[in-house]
Every structure is written in C-alpha cells, then in structure tokens.
Amino acid sequence: MNIIEIKNLSHSFVDGTLGIDGINLSINEGEFIVIGGQNGSGKTTLLKHLNGLLLPTKGTVLVEGVEVSRNIKKARQIVGMVFQNADSQIVGETVYADVAFGPENLCLERQEIEKRVSAALESVGLTQHADKRPHLLSGGEKRRLSIAGILAMVPKIIVFDEPFSSLDYPGSRQVLKQILSLHQSGHTILVTTHDIEKVIAHANRLLIMQDGKVARDGTPDKIIQEAEVFGVRAPCATRLGVEVASWLS
Amino acid sequence: MAELTVFSYRCGTSILHKLDVRFKLFFLILISFTVIKADFTALFIISFMLITVLVYIRFPIISSSRDLRYFFILILLVFFARAFSTPGSALIEWRFIVISKQGVYEGVVVCWRLFLVVFLSLAFVSTTRPSEIKAAVEWFLIPFPFIPRKRIAIMMSLIMRFMPVIYEQVKDTADAQRARCIENKKNPIYRLIKLLIPIIRRTFEGADDLVLAMEARCFSENRTDPVLSSSPKDWVALFIIMCLCFVIVKL
C-alpha cells in the first residue's frame, strides 16, 4: 500500500526560485528510503511538503490517501520530522518537557502524555536524563531527543533531514542504530543526506535529486554507481567494487 | 557541552523542592515586597534566614558569584549613584564631588535589598522546574481572560530554553572575533556592533527554524493544561511566611 503519493509536485519560493519541479513519487509502507543530492537539490523542500510545512505551488501530496493541505494536523501526526539542526528543534526547557511538547499539542490526557513520554525516552535511551536541560546533552543525545519528541506523537512515517550532520563517529552510529530500530518496529523511514555512505547499507531504495527533480530512483545497488554524476559521493566500497558494509558492523 | 549556569534548576529533595510552585511564587513576591520595606535590622534577619535556606538547599553560593559578576558591577553602579546623588552631611569632599553619609547609608540599604531579591529569586529558580514556573504563571493568569496565558507560558518556556543557546552563541562569536584580533580595535562601539550583528542574525535564523519545528509538532494554543496540586504543608508554609513578613515589617 502506498502510504505517500506525490503527484506532479512543484514548489516555487517567493523570489521565484523553483525549489522542486514536477516530482511524481509513491512510497510504500515500511520502506527505508535514502534521498541523496547536493546542497540545494531540493531534498529538504520535498520533505517539508510531506507534513505541510510547505504547501505545493502545483500538484498534490497524499498521506494515507488524504491530501496534506486538507488535514495538516493529521499529516503532521502521521509524518514526524527530525530536523537537521537539533538545537532549533528542541523547544522544551527540560528533556521531559520537550518530549511532552508534541502530545500536549495534541490535547491528550496527562496520563497518556506521561505514558508516551516515558516510552519515547526509554526507546531512545534518555530516561535517566529526563530532568536535564537539553543544552547540556551531547550532539548525539540531542539528535536522539529530537527523535523521542517525534516518537511521542506516534507517527507512522519518520523523515530525517541530514541526521548525521555535525555528529562524530559514535554519535552517528547511535543515531543510525536508532533509525534502524525504528524501521524494524514498522515505521516508514526517509533519510536525506549528501553523504549516503553512512546509511545506504540499510536502505531498500535510493532517490537522487538534482535541480529539484528526482534524477534517479531505484534500489541502491543499481543506482549507486551513478551517484557521483549527480554530485553525491559514492561509498568507498563501491569504488573498490565490493559490497557496502554497515557503519554498525 | 554547555555548563550548568547559576540560573539552572538543581535536582533535590528539600522541602523547598517539594512545595507547590504557586505558593513558592507567592512567597517570592511577598518576601520581595517585605525586603523593599525592611530597614537595617530587618535586612539582617532576612539575610540570615536566606543564607540558612541557601545552605539548606545546597546552593553553590561561592561558585555562583562568578556568574553574577556583571550583577555585582550593576550593584556597584547603583551604590555610587545613590552615594553621589543623596544630599546630606559630607563624608568625603573633593572639588565638586561630595559623598554624603546619608548617601552611603542609602546606597548600602538599596544594594542590600537588590542583592536579597536576586538571591531569593535564585533560591526559587534552583528549586523549581522551569515547566512548573511556566505552569504557575499560566495558573495566575486564569482570572485575566484578555491575556493570552498559553501564549505567554510558551514564550516563557522558549526564553528559558533558548537563553543558554544564545549565551553559547555569544561566546562562540566573541571567540571567533578574538581569533581575528578584534582586540586591536579599541573602539568599544565598533566591537559591540561587530558582535551584535551576527548574534542577532543567528538568533533570527534560529527563530525561523524554531517556528517550523513547532509547527511540525502540531503547535497550537489549545494544548493540554499543566497539572498543579497543593498539600497541607504548602498552607503551613504560607502561614509561617506571612507571620514572618508581618513581624519583619512591624520591626
């Protein structure tokens, strides 16, 4: 079943720049998609249409068969978005308060909020930091807190915008582990990155974007050889002609 | 990683940590007004009580003094302003500069009061979770339907959340400018402008990102209300504090 259906999607910014141009895309439930592309290729603009942060200039985006612009709140509940800059995503003054922010916006009962926050913190391993102020967390912990904030809203699809940016090796591994565990628990995952090496071993689909269009779409093993044509660095293993290994192995 | 600042909540199990935040906020206001009315003797009593409380809640008085250095400069300025501007019998006289005895007395009392109010607030902040403060403010605003209390509560929460981030940005920008020898420029206005422009720009960019992040998490003013509950010990504390304030004012 297609959980996301994008038909002829275009978006122009106020200054007339075309952010994305005529994208058609279907995403199945449970897929793990990596979206690669140079800076400014339209990756983030595409993601922002999935939960109505941007609305199409032309075309439609359907989430679970419902047009996003018709029920934005529902779309934002289904599509959780983890932003590139964790510092600007974290709004709570404590770790607990931040995770509770989303469920409070959904007007849930206090008991249900507490249940969801505890479960989300536990699943990202931040339970012991519940009373900590977010700015005291490390980069990897902040990214995991952003994920917990999204998990507490019980989304079906989670989109990650450059989840590994500014993270060291252990931080990147922690976040990757988290993404994989979310995929294993049944979430549909979309990850945008300009450095596909960190995550491509786990994806079952690779999209490469260029100038606001989907330039390539298919399984990673078929497309990855062409990645560098579009300004996306291919993994070292591919250059050496061997299978790409996971960053977790 | 950023450091814990003097304005942070510190986990603990003291009575002060356990009191209902609405009562604590009321105590803070009540004692602050009492301090403003207090004379020398009363200030001594309040100071003694406040130091006892700070020690009891394990507030790091000495290490916090470093974070409060700019406040001490402000206090000093207030003292000199009072000392120079209050008329009375001269204590020190040099050309046209006169420092009066009454001025020194007034300066000491005003600074002392300011000092006490600040440390009272620190005792409050370090024993109360920011989310509780936000909830209490929201609760106190219920009788005023024309005030958007939920919006104010969110604004407070964001200020508390982003103050350390902005503080970090100021430090980063200042370091980056020092690395490019900004100290060679002696004009303080030039230096201030060069510091402020990137900070303001980064803050506004951060605000744009924040709006998107809040929208992505379905932000609206129609949200679940915070839960607050009082117990008999809050009422006992209220009785004691009110009696103490009454006695101090009547001294």
Cross-chain residue pair B213–A89, CB shorter than 8 Å = yes
Cross-chain residue pair B218–A137, CB shorter than 8 Å = no
Domain at A2-239, CATH class: alpha beta
CB atoms near residue A67 (< 10 Å): 15
Which pLDDT band, with edges at 50, 70 and 90, does B5 fall under? low
Rounded to a whole number of angstroms, the CA Rg of chain A reads 18
B228 touches chain A (CB under 8 A): no
A103 touches chain B (CB under 8 A): yes
How many Å apart are CA A246 and CA B146, to the nearest integer? Answer: 57
**pTM reported for the whole predicted model:** 0.77
How many Å apart are CA A47 and CA A41, to the nearest integer? Answer: 12
Least confident of A154-158, B44-48, B73-77, B153-157: B153-157
B251 or B191: whose pLDDT is higher? B191
For B213, name the nearest residue in chain A, comparing CA atoms only. A89
Contacts of B4 in chain A (CB under 8 A): 133, 136
Is residue B3 predicted with pLDDT exceeding 60?
no
A156 touches chain B (CB under 8 A): no
A92 touches chain B (CB under 8 A): yes
For residue B92, give the DSSP letter: E
Residue B4's pLDDT is: 55
Q: Print pLDDT tens along chain A (249 aa).
A: 789 999 999 999 989 899 999 999 999 999 999 999 999 999 999 999 999 999 999 999 999 999 999 999 999 999 999 998 888 788 887 899 899 999 999 999 999 999 999 999 999 999 999 988 888 899 889 999 999 999 999 999 999 999 998 888 988 999 999 999 999 999 999 999 988 999 999 999 999 999 999 999 999 989 998 889 999 988 888 888 888 888 887
How many Å apart are CA B207 and CA B169, to the nearest integer? Answer: 14
CB atoms near residue A136 (< 10 Å): 16
Cross-chain residue pair B216–A53, CB shorter than 8 Å = yes
Give the distance, in angstroms, between the CA of residue B93 and the centroid of all CA atoms in the same chain: 36
Residue A79's pLDDT is: 95
Cross-chain residue pair A105–B219, CB shorter than 8 Å = yes
Distance from CA of A249 to the nearest CA of B (A): 28
Q: What are phi and psi of B235, to 5 degrees?
A: -70, -35
CB atoms near residue B22 (< 10 Å): 18
A18-28 and A2-12 strand pairing: antiparallel
Distance from CA of A100 to the nearest CA of B (A): 10
Cβ-contact A50, A11 below 8 angstroms: no
Distance from CA of A149 to the nearest CA of B (A): 8
Contacts of B2 in chain A (CB under 8 A): 135-136
User: What mean pLDDT, rounded, does chain B reach?
Assistant: 86
Mean pLDDT of B73-83: 89
Cβ-contact A139, A162 below 8 angstroms: no
Residue B2's pLDDT is: 46
Instruction: Suggest the residue from B10, B125, B167, B218 to mutate for an interface test with chain A (most A CBs closer than 10 A).
Output: B218
Residue B82's pLDDT is: 87
- Distances from the Cα of A82 to the Cα of A47, A55, A87, A144, angstroms: 10, 19, 11, 9
Q: What are phi and psi of B241, to 5 degrees?
A: -65, -40
Cβ-contact A95, A121 below 8 angstroms: yes
For B158, name the nearest residue in chain A, comparing CA atoms only. A91
B13 touches chain A (CB under 8 A): no
| pLDDT 10s digits, B174-218 | 888 888 888 888 888 888 898 999 999 988 888 888 889 999 999
Cβ-contact B199, B240 below 8 angstroms: no
How many Å apart are CA B110 and CA A80, to the nearest integer? Answer: 53
Residue B1's pLDDT is: 42
Is residue B68 predicted with pLDDT exceeding 50?
yes
* Percentages of chain B per state (helix, strand, coil), in multiples of 5: 70, 5, 25
- Distances from the Cα of B242 to the Cα of B33, B39, B118, B247, angstroms: 12, 18, 20, 9
Q: Using CB atoms, which residue from B210, B222, B224 is nearest to A88? A: B210
How many Å apart are CA A50 and CA A23, to the nearest integer? Answer: 13
Contacts of B161 in chain A (CB under 8 A): 90-93, 134
Cross-chain residue pair A85–B223, CB shorter than 8 Å = no
Residue A198's pLDDT is: 92
A188-193 and A32-37 strand pairing: parallel
For residue A41, with 0-12 CB atoms within 10 Å meaning exposed, 13-18 middle and 19 or more buried, which class applies? buried
Is residue B67 predicted with pLDDT exceeding 90?
no
SS3 state of residue B60: coil
Structure tokens that stand for A98 in this block: 């931040």
3-state secondary structure chain A: CEEEEEEEEEEECCCCCEEEEEEEEEEECCCEEEEEECCCCCHHHHHHHHCCCCCCCEEEEEECCEEHHHCHHHHHHHEEEECCCHHHHCCCCCHHHHHHHHHHHCCCCHHHHHHHHHHHHHHHCCHHHCCCCHHHCCHHHHHHHHHHHHHCCCCCEEEEECCCCCCCHHHHHHHHHHHHHHHHCCCEEEEEECCHHHCHHHCCEEEEEECCEEEEEECHHHHHHHHHHHCCCCCHHHHCCCCCCCCCC
Is residue B98 predicted with pLDDT exceeding 60?
yes
- Distances from the Cα of B115 to the Cα of B27, B102, B107, angstroms: 17, 20, 12
| Residue carrying the six token digits 């009580």 | B49
For A110, name the nearest residue in chain B, comparing CA atoms only. B224
How many Å apart are CA A20 and CA A42, to the nearest integer? Answer: 6
What number of C-beta contacts closer than 8 Å exist between A and B? 95
SS3 state of residue B88: coil
Cross-chain residue pair A113–B224, CB shorter than 8 Å = yes
How many Å apart are CA A35 and CA A143, to the nearest integer? Answer: 19
Q: Using CB atoms, which residue from B164, B168, B217 is nearest to A101? A: B217
Structure tokens that stand for B146 in this block: 């024309």
CB atoms near residue A188 (< 10 Å): 22
Structure tokens that stand for A111 in this block: 């008991």
- Per-window interface: A 27-56 vs B, CB < 8 A: 48, 51, 53
For A92, name the nearest residue in chain B, comparing CA atoms only. B161
CB atoms near residue B62 (< 10 Å): 6
Is residue B21 predicted with pLDDT exceeding 60?
yes
Cross-chain residue pair B218–A81, CB shorter than 8 Å = no
